[in-house]
Amino acid sequence: MTEFDLNTDSVRALNQHLHDSPSGSLSVVNPGGRHCIASGIDASVAVSIDGHVGYYCAGMNKKAQVTITGNAGPGVAENIMSGSVRIKGSASQYAGASGQGGTLIIEGDASARCGISMKGVDIVVTGSVGHMSAFMGQKGRLVICGDAGDFLGDSLYEALIYVRGSVGELGADCVEKEMTADHVQSLKVLLASVGVDASAKDFRRYGSARKLYNFNIDHADDY
């Protein structure tokens, strides 16, 4: 296995290697909270990072399986396209922001704005998420096994939100919706696929009331 030690190798050298000729698996040690580690990969490669990472780790990820054994700073897996990013610890704000596909698994907690403007990514958080999560979420699923902070799903489009714990104040135009058999089945498959031991039946579903889609003078205060 190729190993990069970021105490001696630069992040630029690591990322250049990942952009040029990656294959099989690669390990990264001593990340030391550095920024942009393993960002912009477009290859079927497994990257395992041992330690805490800084901003924008695994950003724009395509095809790769990135595992972080530690915590992640702001913007982890930002704009993820496909593949998977798994964080064994907790993630800072705007994890998975604007993600278009693939899967982001956070085994600890995620802080504010998790999944902001998500566009197709599936995000599974084993712990809780902070305020303004899934803000303007357009597509994809945000699954929260713990609790959700205030203003969940504010100005939501068609992203689906599942929460097992408590929810703070809901964001504008976000409402609780019926959990149909189809939703339970699809969530069950997702949870199983990421290895999270939780019963899909215990979750509630939240989605858009679709009242902010078009301008309505009666809702002027909500815009």
3-state secondary structure at position 195:
coil
Site membership for other proteins, residue 115 (CB under 8 A): no
- 50 CA to centre of own chain: 19
Tell me, by CB under 8 A, how many residues bind other proteins.
Answer: 19
- Contact stretch for other proteins (CB under 8 A) within 13-21, 52-60, 99-107, 196-204: 52-60
The amino acid sitting at 60 is M
Question: Nearer Cβ to other proteins, position 102 or 115?
Answer: 115
CA 161/CA 209 separation, integer angstroms = 13
Residue 90 CB, nearest approach to other proteins (Å):
7
Site membership for other proteins, residue 117 (CB under 8 A): no
Residue 109 CB, nearest approach to other proteins (Å):
8
DSSP summary character for residue 220: G
Site membership for other proteins, residue 55 (CB under 8 A): yes
Question: Nearer Cβ to other proteins, position 73 or 96?
Answer: 73
Burial class, 95, CB count within 10 angstroms (exposed 0-12 / middle 13-18 / buried 19+)? buried
Whether residue 118 contacts residue 96, with contact meaning beta carbons closer than 8 Å, is answered with yes
- Contact stretch for other proteins (CB under 8 A) within 29-37, 59-67, 115-123, 179-187: 29-37
- Contact stretch for other proteins (CB under 8 A) within 47-55, 119-127, 159-167, 195-203: 47-55
Site membership for other proteins, residue 34 (CB under 8 A): yes
Question: Nearer Cβ to other proteins, position 52 or 141?
Answer: 52
Site membership for other proteins, residue 59 (CB under 8 A): no
Instruction: Report the residue from 59, 96, 102, 130 that binds other proteins according to the rule CB under 8 A.
Output: 130
Site membership for other proteins, residue 74 (CB under 8 A): yes
At which residue do the structure tokens 């990969």 appear?
Answer: 41
Question: Which helix (H) or strand (E) covers residue 181, if one does?
Answer: helix 181-193
Burial class, 146, CB count within 10 angstroms (exposed 0-12 / middle 13-18 / buried 19+)? middle
**Residues found in the chain:** 223
Q: What is the CA radius of gyration of the chain?
A: 18
Residues at the interface with other proteins (CB under 8 A): 32-35, 51-52, 54-55, 71, 73-74, 89-90, 92-93, 111-112, 130-131
